[in-house]
Amino acid sequence: MTRRTNTAISRRHLLGAMGSAGMLPALSACNWWQDSAVAVAAHVWLGYEPMFLARDRGWLDATRVTLLETRSAVDSMAALRAGTVQAAALTLDEVLGARATGLALSVVLVFNVSLGADMLLVRPGITQLAQLKGLRVGYEASSVAEVMLAEILRAAGLARQDIELLQIRVEDQPKAWQRRAADAFISYEPMATQLLAQGMTRLFDSRQIPNTIVDVLAVRSDALDHAHAKALRHLIDAHFHALDDLTRNPQDAAYRMAGHLNLPAAGVLSAFRGLMLPTLANNHRLLAGNDPQLLTTARRVADILLRIGILSRSDDLTDLINARYLPTEGLLK
């Protein structure tokens, strides 16, 4: 990663040179140095919830950052591709898939690492993965679900043709289970808690594929500029403020998040047990330095995506990670 320079001094020198050359009026008309707001797409997911908590607590300035709530990661990706938003909350595999199609994205924050929050839920009576053969499995058409599916089938010793795959959005899975439209679902929180409450059982989860499902804040490369820098730093600051609040005042934070997550307040904290939420210090360990830890994870995830055909070629991971927007104040050693 490049070392941050003294931008204030270099900018003054640049403006002075342009002014003496008669260039400043033209550039003033462009307002090229003015701060721009950032729009971020995100669906309901535990790891993204600190952003929404920050918004609801008034820690996120709405004139600088807008949160666009979507139904799913698929919708968030569509908004990102269309340029409706500059950033989106996505899984690392989704970022790699988008980059493979030519959408230049960089990771500036790690929201969470899934340690059980992504799971395979099955109807009662199914106790072994091999019993999935011939059954109906509902899943959302996304790369993270494909990664889960590939690892489930590998562990079960089955092939895709051994099961009947049904595309069912995660938010639609509780109703689909009520209709008994499928025998199993690849799901995640908070919908997984609803399915468990309706009698389904957990057979496989992301603890069995550690450091594979990672949720991140991905930013379009054309927004990694001076104009959006303050807004991005403000968003990340607000995330860590809310994360600190969740740590210090868990019951109060759970009560505030319950409605947005569509969970009872008593069930919010237990749902978070399936996640590791990296602190600021851990984000620096994951994203900063010459060989960031997240690159190791990205290489492994890219290999899985190549194996299952989501990626047709390797990603050299150039510019995948950008740690420049992480705050340094308050960083614990």
Task: Please indicate, yes or no, whether residues 226 and 302 belong to a single structural domain of this protein.
Answer: yes
pLDDT in tens, 32-57: 557 899 999 999 999 999 999 999 99
Same domain assignment for residues 229 and 203? no
Q: Give the chain's domain count.
A: 3
Q: Does one domain contain both 147 and 107?
A: no
Q: Is there a single domain that holds both residue 70 and residue 176?
A: no
Lowest average pLDDT, out of 120-124, 172-176, 197-201, 267-271, goes to 267-271
**In this structure, is residue 273 part of a structural domain?**
yes
- Pick from 4-18, 80-94, 318-332 the range whose average pLDDT is largest: 80-94
| Exposure string for 58-93, b = 16+ CB within 10 A, e = fewer | ebbeeebbbbbebebbebbbebbeeeebbbbbbbbb
In a domain, 90, yes or no: yes
* Claim to verify: residue 150 and residue 28 sit in the same structural domain: no
Residue 270 sits in a domain whose CATH number is: 3.40.190.10
Q: How far apart are CA 331 and CA 333, in angstroms?
A: 6
Q: pLDDT at position 39, please?
A: 98
319 in a structural domain: no
State which of 160, 180, 208 marks the end of a domain: 208
Give the percent of the chain with pLDDT over 70: 89
Are 187 and 195 a contacting pair, CB within 8 Å?
A: yes
Same-domain status, 179 and 69: no
* One domain for residues 103 and 177: no
- Domain end position, chosen among 157, 174, 208: 208
Per-residue pLDDT reduced to its tens digit, 63-78: 999 999 998 888 999 9
Higher pLDDT, 139 or 11: 139
Is residue 21 domain-shared with residue 142, that is, in the same domain? no
Q: Which residue has the tokens 């409450």?
A: 197
26 Cβ contact partners less than 8 Å away, ≥ 6 residues apart: none
Same domain, 293 and 147: no
Q: Domain for residue 283, yes or no?
A: yes
Tokens read off for 148: 């889960």
My answer on whether 40 and 25 are in the same domain is no
Asked whether residue 202 falls in the same domain as residue 222, the answer is no
Of 169, 192, 208, which one is at a domain's C-terminal end?
A: 208
Q: Quick check: 4 pLDDT over 60?
A: no
Q: What is the pLDDT of residues 169-217, one digit of tens each?
A: 988 999 999 999 999 999 988 889 899 999 999 999 999 998 899 999 9
- 108 and 226 within one domain: yes
* Domain limits for position 300: 35-115+212-307
**Is residue 173 domain-resident?**
yes
End-to-end CA distance of the chain: 20
Using the predicted structure, report yes or no on whether residue 27 has a pLDDT greater than 90.
no
Q: What pTM value is reported for the model?
A: 0.82
313 inside domain: no
In a domain? residue 298: yes
